Chains A and B, each alone.
Chain A
């Protein structure tokens, strides 16, 4: 099978109309800004380049590597596209890829395409570029490590938001869909991280003119750092909360009145429900999530340093 669908593409029918339209709204605005930005800053040459880069992402998603027991790791590429091409161009490229996958392969629906572009294009670009932008000018090991963490977080955040959208649409139960989606994508994200790091390190080595401090800084301002860190924090804080204490999240959603708008019939919250939203359990799981992210960061820094040292040896 040449083309294997990635597990994050939501088909039509799985999101409620309200949720689908809300995310179409966000996506249209963001992609609109991306178009006007790229129109301003880039020449006509950039359009063919972005088209071929979109084809690159499409083709790169076919690269796989055997993991164990017949399963294989796949590449999604959102973070890599944003780091190499800049956030706005990255968003446009991912939008094109997701649109084509939906139109040609029915991989992801049409009415829910806004949500799919948001999850796999916008989130990954913000996290991928934002975190990477915050460490330009640092050592190569550090940059690669952060790129790896960003790629991992981008996949995890996509999975988390997909799960939340399914829940808000009344399609899935929160306490089932969040752990299931996160569990799978915590692992998929590791493959994504290693591939992104290796690809970046390869490109930096062979074409240092394409990825360097000046290029990256010119492609997106410091605002991306804040956006990226904010969304990454959101994912890190919300994931453990949502999987360990789904009832708390459901109550918050009900308090804001989101649940009533989002679904035809909201889940009933038990009247004798007493666990406070930010109780000890929730807080401890948040800390656990933060620690987990730090551990991954540590591992990635180690791996990055090892890669660099190996390269330094081979140059001698």
Chain B
């Protein structure tokens, strides 16, 4: 499989792409934090946050609606917040009867629900923009600069490097299973669910052994190339004055968003 099957990086020449990855990581986290800090029902601040996002999209030269088009990934989880609509606080807005259940939506509940969905939707878009404009190894390197322990960043780097390889391995296992599972249309094929789960378990065991043995070979190969326990990068990250400027600007904007949300 080609390595970009999973990669979310979008090559482009833009101000956002050129920014130091540390700045992007920190600003993204601050933006998400700002969303979490905005009170329920601060619609103006949520709207402004979205405009800021659109502007960031524009800066990335990937298209103004880039993050919007990809932002529906967290939507299924919104189901978890639906029950907030029927909060016992606030003014009832009528009642719906579903069988024996009587649901009473309240204004407080609706505001809560809307705010949760908006927060999550804005946060997801910020994260989408971050991975679209930052190469993943650069991002991991940024976390290293931000004092995340080297053991963790190294494990994640290896994970990123080898998930493509092991996904290929999974594809081979799945293809092998499929080619051995003949079926006739209209007839029941295969055995019980438990049996199928066991077959899958054997595949997981097989995959584990292949991965384990591969890691031995990889380690030997790395030793042969002079591995001393640390991964290195050719991109030495140095903060430029434009990076500092962007950081300061973002912090001011985020403070403004907070101010808007609280008046």
What residues of chain A have their CB less than 8 Å away from a CB belonging to chain B? 2-3, 5, 7, 9-14, 16-17, 20, 31-32, 35, 38-39, 44-45, 47-56, 58-60, 62-68, 73, 75, 77, 80, 84, 92-93, 95-97, 99-100, 102-107, 109-111, 166, 170-173, 176-177, 190-191, 194-203, 206-207, 210, 264-265, 267-268, 303
Contacts and interface: CB of A to CB of B under 8 A. Distances in A.
B32 A110 contact: yes
A106 B151 contact: no
Q: Name, among B29, B83, B161, B214, the residue most crowded by chain A CB atoms within 10 Å (CB to CB).
A: B83
B30 to A, nearest CB: 10
Among A50, A56, A103, residue most surrounded by chain B Cβ atoms (within 10 Å): A56
B173 interface: yes
B77 A14 contact: yes
Contacts of A64: 200
Interface in B1-37: 5-8, 28-29, 32-33, 35-37
Contact of B154 (A14, A51, A67, A99): A51
B197 interface: yes
Given A2-B167, A55-B163, A38 B6 contact: no
Contact of A203 (B116, B161, B205, B222): B205
Q: Is the interface of A mostly helix, strand, loop or mixed?
A: helix
Contact of B211 (A3, A55, A103): A55
B interface, by DSSP: helix, strand, loop or mixed?
helix
B121 to A, nearest CB: 7
B174 interface: yes
B29 A110 contact: yes
A285 B82 CA distance: 27
Contacts of A92: 151-152, 155
Interface residues of B, number: 89
Contacts of A50: 155, 158
A99 B118 CA distance: 23
A104 B136 contact: yes
Interface of B: 5-8, 28-29, 32-33, 35-37, 39-40, 73-74, 76-77, 80-81, 83-84, 86-89, 108, 112, 116-124, 127-128, 130-131, 136, 139, 149, 151-152, 154-163, 165-167, 169-170, 173-174, 190, 193-194, 196-209, 211-212, 214-215, 218-219, 222, 227-229
Contacts of A16: 36
Given A17-B37, A195-B201, A63 B80 contact: no
A73 B197 contact: yes
A199 B203 CA distance: 7
Contacts of B77: 9-11, 14
Contact of B201 (A11, A66, A196): A196
B36 A12 contact: yes
A198 B40 CA distance: 48
A56 B160 contact: no
Given A49-B219, A67-B196, A111-B36, 6 more contacts: A2-B167, A12-B32, A13-B116, A56-B208, A99-B156, A173-B84
A13 B202 contact: no
A50 B155 CA distance: 6
Nearest to B29: A110
B149 A199 contact: no
A206 B209 contact: yes
B36 A13 contact: yes
B215 A48 contact: yes
Contact of B170 (A9, A54, A60): A60
Nearest to B128: A106
A77 B208 CA distance: 11
A9 B149 CA distance: 23
Contacts of A77: 204
Contacts of A49: 212, 215, 219
Contact of B73 (A48, A59, A75, A107): A107
B174 A198 contact: no
* Most chain A beta-carbon contacts within 10 A, residue among B37, B108, B194: B194
A39 B211 contact: no
Nearest to A92: B155
A105 B36 CA distance: 20
Contact of A35 (B86, B151, B157, B203): B151
Given A52-B158, A109-B123, A194 B194 contact: yes
Contacts of B207: 56, 59-60, 63
A56 B166 contact: yes
A52 B211 contact: yes
Contact of B203 (A2, A3, A63, A303): A63
Contacts of B162: 51-52, 55
Contacts of B84: 170-173
A59 B215 contact: no
A196 B64 CA distance: 45
Contacts of A104: 6-8, 131, 136, 160
Contact of A172 (B83, B169, B202): B83
